[in-house]
Amino acid sequence: MTSNLTLALLQLPVGADVSLNVRRAVEGITQLKAENPELQLAILPESFNAPYGVEYFAKYAESIPDGATCRALSRLALQLGLYIIGGSIVERDAGKLYNTCTVWAPNGSLIGKHRKIHLFTMNIEAAHGGGVQFDEGAALTAGSELTVVKIGQHKVGIGICHDKRFEELARIYRNLGCSMLVYPSAFCICQGPMHWELLQRARATDNQLFVVTCSPARDNMSGYVAYGHSMIVDPWARVQREAGEGCEFIVEQIDFDMVEQVRRQIPIHQQRRTDVYAKARADS
């Protein structure tokens, strides 16, 4: 089993024209594959095909897998012979809306569909009135299933943005054999400086695996401003690559042998005191 994986993060701008947003993604991945024939996986941002906001979710929702965005990603995966983690789109199903990430195999088939489990709720108070509020749950329904996909021979756990705040989800993915976690993330600018890198490095060091995030490019004129700074964090919790704020593509090779090296050298999961934890839960 080869230990190396060449992946691309596409930190793309997102506007109100869905066809333009999807075309940018298709053209960007096509360009990167032409320039990097070894490319095996392309990752898109959360809400890459339409504006992110409660007021937009119903307007831009599509069905999966037969909506226009999914058809474009399926064709592209087949045409280029690579995996695509399709960021996320708003999915309409049986009268409900979900924030959903699709994963496509090199043969064009849908191999994973992750509905965001933890919907983003924020109510940050300002010192002198105002503040920032946001509630995905006002329009979206939370998912209830974990999503593990095989990228080549490696297991990858999928989350979306706010999912990465929940360490138990990442730990379960680790226990299921994942060596990388991928979170398409339109993380907001008000939290980004405090928690963006911190959360990714925390999930990486807790579970001794790669953590990868892909953000939309920052647009300071939009109603919801994404932080940017798409990132790859290695199992030592070091930032291996980081984008800036604007439109930017990253191509990077990661070595999954590092996962086993770290777990062997610092065997924290072999030292877990499940007996102590069980007693504490029983006593609480």
What domains appear along the chain, each with residue ranges and CATH number? 4-283 (3.60.110.10)
Residue 223, both tokens? 């109603």
Please tell me which residue in 33, 70, 101, 116 is annotated as part of the active site: 116
Share above pLDDT 70 across residues of the chain, in percent, rounded to a whole number: 96
The pTM score is 0.95
Please tell me which residue in 62, 101, 113, 161 is annotated as part of the active site: 161
Please tell me which residue in 33, 46, 188, 214 is annotated as part of the active site: 46
Confidence of residue 124 (pLDDT cuts 50, 70, 90): low
pLDDT tens column, 223-251: 889 999 999 999 999 999 999 999 999 99
Q: What are phi and psi of 251, to 5 degrees?
A: -120, 125
| Whether the Cβ atoms of residue 139 and residue 98 lie closer than 8 Å to each other | no
HSE, side-chain direction, 13 A CA sphere, residue 63: 6
Across the chain, mean pLDDT equals 95
- The DSSP call for residue 139 is T
Give the pLDDT score at 270.
86
Is 46 a known active-site residue?
yes
Instruction: For residue 271, count other CB atoms closer than 10 A to its CB.
Output: 7
- In 3D space, the residue among 146, 229, 184 whose CA is nearest the CA of residue 52 turns out to be 184
pLDDT tens column, 38-90: 999 999 999 999 999 999 999 999 999 999 999 999 999 999 999 999 999 99
The b-or-e profile of 106-140 (16+ CB within 10 A means b, else e) is: bebebbbbbbbbbbbeeeeeeeeeeeeebebeebb
